[in-house]
Structure 1
Amino acid sequence: MITMEDIIRDGHPTLRKIAAEVPLPASDEDKRILQELLEYVKNSQNPEIAEKYKLRPGIGLAAPQINVSKRMIAVHIQDEKAAYSYALFNPKIVSHSVEKSYLQSGEGCLSVDEAIPGFVPRHARVTIKGINENGEEVKLRLKGLPAICFQHEIDHLNGIMFYDYINKEDPFKPIEGAIVIER
């Protein structure tokens, strides 16, 4: 089981590396890691389990955040329409909108202990492809908070942190034409 002690913090070199593709079919070890990533995110959202194991709540987790430089992510999130609970090998954004969106409240990260205020511009809509733990291709068309979450986690696979996108001069400068997402 992954705990907060397993999550590496900002400044660790693995967080800035481009993660390696996972050879498919996935090994039993890679499948176990993928399952544990999803288990952490689910458990972190359960108040009793989170308190018992001192888990910080999250909606996504990428393998580099547990110092495994491989292309694996897990997302467990609910928006007003549906639940998105996915653990994927080698996820990638195959298409995206020109239109941008951002979270009104800004983004956070389990690897970043302090709040870094500012708007993080993201694509408003994305299509993601990846391989699930059963070796099946998954294709997701996302918008809103799920789209932002998947982009955040895929960025971890490319050594990018959310705050890299924040306007350094004016962190709360409105992003022209972007959809504002309340959370």
Structure 2
Amino acid sequence: MKLPDIKILDEKDKTLRMISKEIEFPLNQEEIQLINNALDYLEISQIEEYRSKYDLRAGMGLSFIQLGLPKRIFVISEEIEENKFKRYVVINPKIISRSEELIYVGEGEGCLSVNREVEGIVPRHARITVEAYDENGNLYEIRVREDMAVAFQHEIDHLNGILFIDHIDENNPYKNRHLMREI
């Protein structure tokens, strides 16, 4: 497998703080190519052999803003069994419902744009329902929970110029942990 040629912006890049604009259909060739390249990159990053070969950090999601394009689209590649992936293309997403229950990732969230360890918890809703379009312009609704709910909320934050580190209280990085469930 060949690593796609994509450049992921670093957290210091001000582009990441932009609010992404809605995408219009049909998608252009550049957008379609970027969707495929981003998904291929994510899958390669999750396969140990390639991660070592290309010196990558594993990632499961990328938003277009991380690739320098402030458009409301992100992709997620979920490993459902060893080296087998389920692909999500999420365009112009809107969270239409969310659980009251809050969760956090015990090991801490990570981001391909944040190239450092960050201590602390990021409160996320345990379950969310998202309305979005696929790459063909078809409207769909998806309900996600646990890890996938975290991933979707993380990527939607990117579309609004928010990084996961913005949710962490620097003075008390584990603030209110007792009010949430660890996953």
* TM-score clears 0.5: yes
Runs of 4+ in 1 over 6 A off after TM superposition: none
Q: Deviations over 1:85-131 (max 9, x none)?
A: 20222122121112211111111111011111101001111111221
Offset at residue 78 of structure 1 (A): 4.2
The worse-fitting range, judged by mean Cα deviation, of 156-165 and 19-28 is 19-28
Partner of 1:40: 41
- Percent identity (aligned): 40
Q: Which runs of 5+ in 1 are unaligned?
A: none
Offset at residue 36 of structure 1 (A): 1.5
Structure 1 residue matching 2:154: 3-state secondary structure: helix
1:162 counterpart (164, 170, 183): 164
| Whole-angstrom distance in 2 between the partners of 1:96 and 1:2 | 36
Output the amino acid matched with 1:119. Answer: I
Offset at residue 79 of structure 1 (A): 6.9
Partner of 1:96: 98
Structure 1 residue matching 2:12: 3-state secondary structure: coil
- How many correspondences in the alignment? 177
Aligned-residue RMSD, C-alpha:
1.8
Are the equivalent residues in 2 in contact too, given 1:37–1:73 (CA < 8 A)? no
Offset at residue 18 of structure 1 (A): 0.2
Using the size of structure 1 for normalisation, the TM-score is 0.89
Say if 2:130 is the partner of 1:134. no
Are the equivalent residues in 2 in contact too, given 1:84–1:146 (CA < 8 A)? no
Structure 2 residue matching 1:142: 3-state secondary structure: strand
| Whole-angstrom distance in 2 between the partners of 1:164 and 1:19 | 17
Using the size of structure 2 for normalisation, the TM-score is 0.89
Offset at residue 28 of structure 1 (A): 2.0
